[in-house]
Structure 1
């Protein structure tokens, strides 16, 4: 047997075992079918569903089978699947060298103590002068441009990794997410980020980082970035020497979110950066429910949820658990995607086509959705909206939702109507600094001009729900404790699933295609690169 045949046979056998052993809830409990999906996807045998892993392959096969049972048709480039090619890049264990030129003297820097380096697809040896660019955010349309007046050609850009004030939460999120794209367009060859608060920690596991990129280099958001690094803030006075900028003043100003100074610097960095590379293939899973209206069926509404998680602990050997099960993140969202497919297919009547996509590599930087949004697997139709579910957190009773992107398009009317009908409401995001607007797969569609929304169960500040929500993020997010043993509000999960199905059909059947608000920055596609 070939290795591929063996892998598929193993996946099928494991999948059958997982489905048979998923424990049902007590009789007539809400969200019972949803919970079975969550159990399967969170099982230890899937080893955290890392992109390209056997566990993720099993999960993808499970989703494809559930799509089939729901009555969808396959809509990938290979049956149910859209295989996506990636390249993993890591720094070599030996040979990395860093040095700083101050005047005519080159001084070596110590990896970890002075600087951390993460490998990217374009990582290569580099020697270049430095320039300080404040926050590094360039949004001239919004009246903010830290790159204005700076010559970045052939330079490494040093910027403060902090949030300037004066921008809306979605615009701030977009501006920080696209820092490198604007720097690259201006001719930069690399970046050095520096924090403006907190202690520097030299952790052996983070000194030399790895990354995963799309093999399709035309879609590489970090293309041309020869060095990606983080600097120990204690070195900043040396970098700023002679520029007229005082680091302690920068720290104080950044803490207030006020504009920062910028300047060319008199120092240069030399870096020797050997890398090792590995090819990965991992699929998006795609099912379609064709629209019933001859006029509208070529308008496609995409419902998405990421299927991957972060795998297993890669550090020194530990005793006990080493698996990041990703129950909330995002077995719950993938389960909702499958249950929504079943619900809307049974109800029927969707005038527009509904496309259900379980994307891969969200945890690697929204890469699976980035590929799908740029290279849709469907042969006809135009994507006109995206509804994305990622870690919606059914931790407490459902009273309202955080809806990321709600102020940007008239999809707000659709979600508002669905919530109002249930006595619920859209709640204001109390943590805009967390930039959740760009931290999941809806952003891949937004940047291509597609009105999109994402959701979490909401709370109001000062309540027990806030304590539960923030406690979960602190104690379980991307930790091994995000597993099947944590408390879950099944009534809330059932309520969310029901309103999500209604929302999907509502968008599919609305009179006009969704549109951006006239004042939204995203009304113009922001395709980068």
Structure 2
């Protein structure tokens, strides 16, 4: 969607949507950060740098102190990337559409492949048979007792297979697979390259299984249905050969976290800063969906970088008792790189943080009556979140869908790994409710899609309610006497060595 159209939509949304001044101001900044001018804020892109400059200017105007490299606003990080820029894939005379029918791990693929094909059900180590030199097709499953994707890959490599194609299981309805993929890229912090896989690794769209198994006499939809139920699956070889060629591009990138300090007012708490995080990066340009190739990332996560800024703007330069570090981090979508870098390279002039409140995975698209709190039972921050939420008539819960592993999929995880108590939030819903229906639809149509833009429907009251919750939580934690502390019962709490 072009910039002028998005600007009109944003103006109309503000005019007909949020009635309170603070929510309107929040949405204006959200609109600026996720406009087409920012080009989706891809890590290491000019669009990301433009968005970072906006955040830095707003933090400066709010009276914060820059605490990035050499006393500036930016904490820079060198990155490396490998991307599949072109792929030709097919079986016999049947072409396969890259990013739609299958995708590949860029570090795993050679320039070309020409392999026989073996379908091996769930690819348990003892049931592979002869797969030497073959592409092995496996049904992915997250059911207890089934081989994990990594276990399947390890078993195939040990048996002499050349490649693995894991079917993305449509039966995992908690988080069903979504196609197409935006692109096939791997990014890492410079100097710390990931270990290349032993074999070529592909992810297969379940709807494309028939293209791989054509000529075998097998019913591909029936195989998918059986695999999604966890029913027994056959093993068989396929008469066709898998042929693929890839063009890979390697690049060096640089991207930066934006860091600002709101000094505390109580000298006794000066060594106990809180760090508030949200990721500024998005997907940038990618594979078109419904004719749109720009992944604006309005709710993921421009809106919540904007909320960090609004928090300090509302203060008018007045600090909390504790110092508060505002961190708009980069590289979250590429592997949580910016928050990892920040946790490991904390600014030397600032004491180590005593707690982290992270904003990601938030979708104000239905009423906020229930809030999932990651880390709810792990530290006193969970108790603080519960108290603030209760005061606003919001119930809280632990993660009802641990199979999705959301705890480890956003930036607070790196602080937890570094021993810092942390929390993150997801709008909750009761099973079978209209709110769940809205959320599931957004996950299919909006999450990591170009449709996460300013044109999407927002529940303005829900947005306001969460923003109020966040303001209240930060005030409570940053102003109270005791610092955040781990609960002794938490399995994530640091243990004495």
Which range, TM-score by smaller chain?
Answer: 0.7 to 0.9
Q: How does 1:95-114 map to 2 (within 5 A)?
A: none
Partners of 1:46 and 1:317 in 2: CA distance: 21
RMSD between superposed Cα atoms in Å: 5.1
Displacement of 1:229 in angstroms is 2.0
The structure 2 residue matched to 1:89, chosen from 82, 88, 109, is 82
The normalised TM-score by structure 1 is 0.69
Q: Could you tell me which residue of structure 2 aligns to residue 513 of structure 1?
A: 484
The answer to whether the 8 A contact 1:118-1:208 is kept is no
Q: How many residues align?
A: 465
Partners of 1:271 and 1:117 in 2: CA distance: 12
Is 1:454–2:424 an aligned residue pair? yes
Q: How does 1:463-482 map to 2 (within 5 A)?
A: 463-482=433-452
The structure 2 residue matched to 1:282, chosen from 240, 255, 263, is 255
Displacement of 1:74 in angstroms is 0.8
After superposition, the Cα gap between the structure-2 partners of 1:517 and 1:293, relative to the gap in structure 1 and judged at 3 Å, is: same
After superposition, the Cα gap between the structure-2 partners of 1:302 and 1:259, relative to the gap in structure 1 and judged at 3 Å, is: farther
The superposition leaves residues 237-257 of structure 1 with CA deviations (integer Å, 9 ceiling, x where unpaired) of: 9xxxxxxxxx99998997567
The structure 2 residue matched to 1:325, chosen from 292, 296, 301, is 296
The answer to whether the 8 A contact 1:119-1:211 is kept is yes
Q: Could you tell me which residue of structure 2 aligns to residue 214 of structure 1?
A: 188
Q: Could you tell me which residue of structure 1 aligns to residue 236 of structure 2?
A: none
The answer to whether the 8 A contact 1:125-1:273 is kept is yes
Is 1:341–2:312 an aligned residue pair? yes
The superposition leaves residues 442-469 of structure 1 with CA deviations (integer Å, 9 ceiling, x where unpaired) of: 2232333333221133222333322332
After superposition, the Cα gap between the structure-2 partners of 1:90 and 1:208, relative to the gap in structure 1 and judged at 3 Å, is: farther
> The residue matched to 1:426 in structure 2 has which SS?
strand
After superposition, the Cα gap between the structure-2 partners of 1:189 and 1:337, relative to the gap in structure 1 and judged at 3 Å, is: farther
Is 1:496–2:466 an aligned residue pair? yes
The answer to whether the 8 A contact 1:124-1:226 is kept is no
After superposition, the Cα gap between the structure-2 partners of 1:338 and 1:108, relative to the gap in structure 1 and judged at 3 Å, is: same
Partners of 1:461 and 1:399 in 2: CA distance: 13
Q: Could you tell me which residue of structure 2 aligns to residue 399 of structure 1?
A: 369
The normalised TM-score by structure 2 is 0.73
Displacement of 1:92 in angstroms is 5.9
Is 1:350–2:321 an aligned residue pair? yes
After superposition, the Cα gap between the structure-2 partners of 1:384 and 1:476, relative to the gap in structure 1 and judged at 3 Å, is: same
The answer to whether the 8 A contact 1:427-1:459 is kept is no
**What runs of 5+ residues in structure 2 fail to find an aligned partner?**
129-133, 172-178, 214-219, 234-241
Q: Could you tell me which residue of structure 2 aligns to residue 372 of structure 1?
A: 342
Q: Could you tell me which residue of structure 2 aligns to residue 70 of structure 1?
A: 62
Q: Could you tell me which residue of structure 2 aligns to residue 39 of structure 1?
A: 31
Partners of 1:519 and 1:134 in 2: CA distance: 38
Is 1:80–2:50 an aligned residue pair? no
Displacement of 1:485 in angstroms is 2.6
After superposition, the Cα gap between the structure-2 partners of 1:476 and 1:504, relative to the gap in structure 1 and judged at 3 Å, is: same
Displacement of 1:65 in angstroms is 1.1
Displacement of 1:97 in angstroms is 9.0
Mean alpha-carbon deviation: is it higher for 412-421 or for 402-411?
402-411
The superposition leaves residues 210-261 of structure 1 with CA deviations (integer Å, 9 ceiling, x where unpaired) of: 21312424274x5556633235767999xxxxxxxxx99998997567999x
Q: Could you tell me which residue of structure 2 aligns to residue 441 of structure 1?
A: 411
**What runs of 5+ residues in structure 1 fail to find an aligned partner?**
1-13, 100-106, 137-145, 168-174, 199-204, 238-246, 261-268
After superposition, the Cα gap between the structure-2 partners of 1:519 and 1:481, relative to the gap in structure 1 and judged at 3 Å, is: closer
